Amino acid sequence: MFSSFSSFSNPFRLPRFLSGSASNAVNIKSVQIHNVETLHEKRARTLKHLLKLNHVNHSLLYHRLLFHNHVPHFLGAAYLMGADSNHLKDVYDQESKELEPWHDSPGEVSTYDWREYLGKHEYQRAYLDFFEDELVLKGYDWRKVLEEYLFKGKAPLINNLIAGIGHPLIHLAYAFEISSREVAMEVLSMASSSYNFLHRYLDDPSYSKPTSNSTRSPLEILCRVRTDKRFDGIFTHEGFEHIGPLFQQRESELLEHWNSWHIADPTRDFEASQLAAAALLVASHKPGGNQYDFYIVHILTTSHAVRILLPLIPTKFHLPLVRQWWLFTLTIYMTQLRPEVRLTAVTDYDRKNKDWDWVNEKALHGEHALDAHYVKALRAMKTAADTWGDDDKFYLKAAVRFAEEFDGWGGFGPLEVASAHQ
């Protein structure tokens, strides 16, 4: 399923300030990078101005600091799929309706104490101010700020990008892909204020242990998790509020499955994980239902983010980032009650000759064109097909089925439903 990547280019690359073994590298070429700061076409100018408008006016976390600002993701996805200036404005207007203005933090953070406030959502503004001050000190080179605060230290922030349901990870990918310093600084603020306990599984090597039943197939492990009776009955409904209790009650069992993925060939095995991500969204969808799982779609969009980032970050972090995504995947799969993945739901699907142009048209002009997660999911599947090839049309079939059947999001627990209406 490999293609020549002839459609991709990589105009810049992060400096290899941290060494890594070539054997641990995922060898894929970068997608095209769009420097919206310097492009002169109207679409790019519109994107640049809307990103800055969001950056100034809207907080990253809102609704009692529980929800995430998706404006950069949605604008970036729409732009990269070919949206014109008017559609970008429509996207911004739609996404900004429920956003909130910035509120002052309880105090400031500095180079001496910035780690002391990690995980405190109310410090999101203080973190943004701090990192933007650092941006000035580094000559407005946002990559140098990321180098300093994302990749360095004993517990680098990159090892906890799955906090906040993976939104810092998705945010980072779009920061690179559209080359936006505003979005890059937002990443650092979001990652810092969303920081949680999941970092320990990447920072502490003692959690990574070989298992006796290892396999290179993520889908095989998901099948094992589905039939693992040790997880039966611990939750009665879906919902992200289960993440903490899951680790409190079944940490060793979850980590057993996490460690059972044997990455022998990083590139090929990452390819298998991307297929699993698409399959999880579409092939676990209950027949006859039109609502897709809101949290499982984040497995796909975070996998897409990893794909964007791997060619641009130090090799040292390739496998940890992929394994971080895998920890996130298992966690969400379990909190969403381990739905069955029926590959035939994709492989046997009749797409009726619909192609990627049809999918793109649905993303930009269909009835759900102003749903951020819908558009990002379609783009993620198209990028996977471009990256690996799609001779059997698995990604295309998955995208067509999703585009045709989608009619909103489900998978929410009662606490999330109640919170959304408060």
Q: What is the pLDDT of residues 236-290, one digit of tens each?
A: 999 999 999 999 999 999 999 999 999 999 999 999 999 999 999 999 998 777 7
Two structure tokens written together for 124 = 């999101």
pLDDT the model gives residue 288:
76
Residues of the chain with pLDDT below 70 are 1-22, 418-422
The label of the residue with tokens 């698409």 reads: 278
Beta bridge partners of 68: 61
Q: Token pair of 26, please?
A: 């995922």
Residue 174 host element (H or E): helix 167-177
Q: What is the pLDDT of residue 2?
A: 31
Structure tokens at 152: 């360095």
pLDDT at position 65 is 95
How far apart, in whole angstroms, are the C-alpha atoms of residue 11 and residue 145?
Answer: 20
pLDDT at 416: 72
Asked if residue 68 lies in contact with residue 60, where contact means CB atoms within 8 angstroms, the answer is yes
Tell me which H or E stretch contains 67: strand 67-68
pTM of the model: 0.94
pLDDT of residue 23: 78
Which is it for the CA torsion 133, 139, 140, 146, positive or negative?
A: negative
228 SS3 class: coil
Task: Tell me the β-bridge partners of 285.
Answer: none
- Map tokens 């609704």 to a residue: 63
The pLDDT score that the predictor gives to residue 14 is 35
Per-residue tokens: 379:
């783009």
**Rg value, the chain, Cα:** 20
Closest among 381, 24, 37 to 175, alpha carbons compared: 37
Residue with tokens 């200036």: 85
Identify residue 75 by its one-letter amino acid code.
L
Closest by Cα among 202, 204, 191 to 123 = 191
Q: What is the pLDDT of residue 11?
A: 32
Residue 252 CB contacts under 8 Å (≥ 6 apart), including other chains: none
Q: pLDDT tens digits, residue range 364-417?
A: 999 999 999 999 999 999 999 999 999 999 999 999 999 999 999 999 988 777
Backbone angles phi, psi at 264, to 5 degrees: -90, -40
Which distant-in-sequence residues (6+ apart) come within 8 Å of 73 by Cβ? 170, 171, 174, 301, 372, 376
Q: Give the whole-angstrom CA distance, residue 87 versus residue 89.
A: 5
Nearest to 192 by CA among 298, 107, 306, 116: 116
Q: Is the CB of residue 20 less than 8 Å from the CB of residue 315?
A: yes
CB atoms within 10 A of CB 85: 17
Instruction: Give residue 338's pLDDT.
Output: 98
Residue at token pair 């035939």: 344
Q: Of the candidates 72, 316, 105, 254, which has an alpha carbon nearest to the alpha carbon of residue 192?
A: 105
Opening angle at CA 323, ends 319 and 329, nearest 5: 150
Parallel/antiparallel/unpaired status of strands 61-62 and 67-68: antiparallel
Do 31 and 327 contact (CB within 8 A), yes or no?
Answer: no
Token readout for 341 is 């993945």
